[in-house]
Structure 1
């Protein structure tokens, strides 16, 4: 028997997130070997007249390749897959792997080669030329990371992924408009006092198009404007390693001090290139159904009452934006159970302990949004 929730999700992905049209080519990549959601999306793609292509990715095999391959092989892999990506109108990644740490044993220099010479080469064409979306599959591995039973995680997953994102976008637009008129942002709380400028910088929202789950508004900080310090109170997995208690100190935009549970590996990442000690994004999490870290950044960066900073490249390139070969989102939650905190725009208190306190943004508070 088909799970009607999967059919509804597939319909939403094809018609809303990807907006697939008749005759358009869709590349579906699946990390892992789960095919139930992929089958439903292939069927829905054909239903609207699209042309789906499917590729399964295995990170255990990728780890062996990366530890043994040359830069010439990585570049050859990129050349082949770039040709395919250039031929696509839409792209969907379904993360359904069994172990998020499969790449943990890959030497960091090989990971750096892979990100620079494969991932960014191939996906530059996805970012520029396709309607794209990245999503998680609700398997046992995802449930385990979230400290939930599989059944409970499935129920949670479908709630957050089939949220009325159009309704949420109407409330998010009010925050977008306010941030476009804002010059200075200050983030204050325990182990955090950070200031930055978003004056005349791009502001955007993600409301069910490029990620599922979704729900964030983000801007590009001016590269040299960040000063102060922040300790991130949410664990994050990057390049196969789980980092906790990351603390950054900034001077004129640059991370000048950094510590974590694995400081040595953290420093190697921050030394990737000239831009990897600067911030490319300030995001504000707004999904009313996501309240606690799950060690999956697709979920964690949307936690209501949170902010996140992206180490590395900006989500858009413009004057004063940062450029790097990495983009690494790290989350700081400001709700009382995580220590509380305040968000200020131009010396006006906008959010306190995770709740918006100005009238025009109260519709983004989860109790109000869900009750409407």
Structure 2
């Protein structure tokens, strides 16, 4: 293995390659001093709307705020139900509860680990007010099937694209696949800032207006607050950083796909399940996640070789204590529980070398790292 430690996500190298552009954009913010809703925020919103191919993008303070603001803009609250998946970060379900609504879970597909559209309709009740699919690990859900079901029931779709911004479904960019799209710019995301940040996307002008007001304390103009809002604004410095990163994002997507292809070759003979990208999708590869029935032993072998790994969502939402009152039991979502018990994410960064990928592959196949491939 290389002498230096392998980072799980290599933000330092990315910064070094973009440092002149990032520093120049940050310096401009420091010079004009408009740290809240400065011109870089508006510029970023325009650039991201163009990237996702939607009419409106609204920058917000985090991916969690994006989801909560979307729910608030749709008027969802106590007595309402919102359908999402149990295999996700807690923000997806947390925000539903925070607006007073009830999360309702639908199991995931066995291969993509995204919402199983075949199980969605059975979960819809008279109290259902929205559907929130999650683009796990970098690829969107089957939004064609989900949108068709939503249209039949006249329900809005909130696309949780916190991990899938940059991925596509049937040629359309994630973030623009539902009534509202929400994403996160947490530093580890494929397009990440250096703190918290997020964005909301929509083609609906009325929803866009409501979202802009809600993110700024419900304010329509100075001293006039027609709706209840939150402090959910994107910092100007974070927008400046994102503008610099957005300049190379399309190239980085291609590089991430190349890294994933390298993993596919290196892990071809490993006793694990490799990730599957849906045949109508592309993935931005927010994570490269495998399934292993001997996950803990594999993690220890990787750790012994200086290779970091992470088990995301090892405790699914329906087993979290905060949601015990929903009444779900172990066994209710078998695919989620299987994936949660076996998932392991490997190092994933732009520029991860073929040599490192091959070494990780040797460990995963059970070979000694000093053994020739």
Q: Scaled by the length of structure 2, what TM-score is found?
A: 0.35
Of structures 1 and 2, the one with the larger relative CO (CA 8 A, separation 6+) is 2
Q: Which structure carries more helix by proportion?
A: 2
Which protein is richer in strand relative to its size? 1
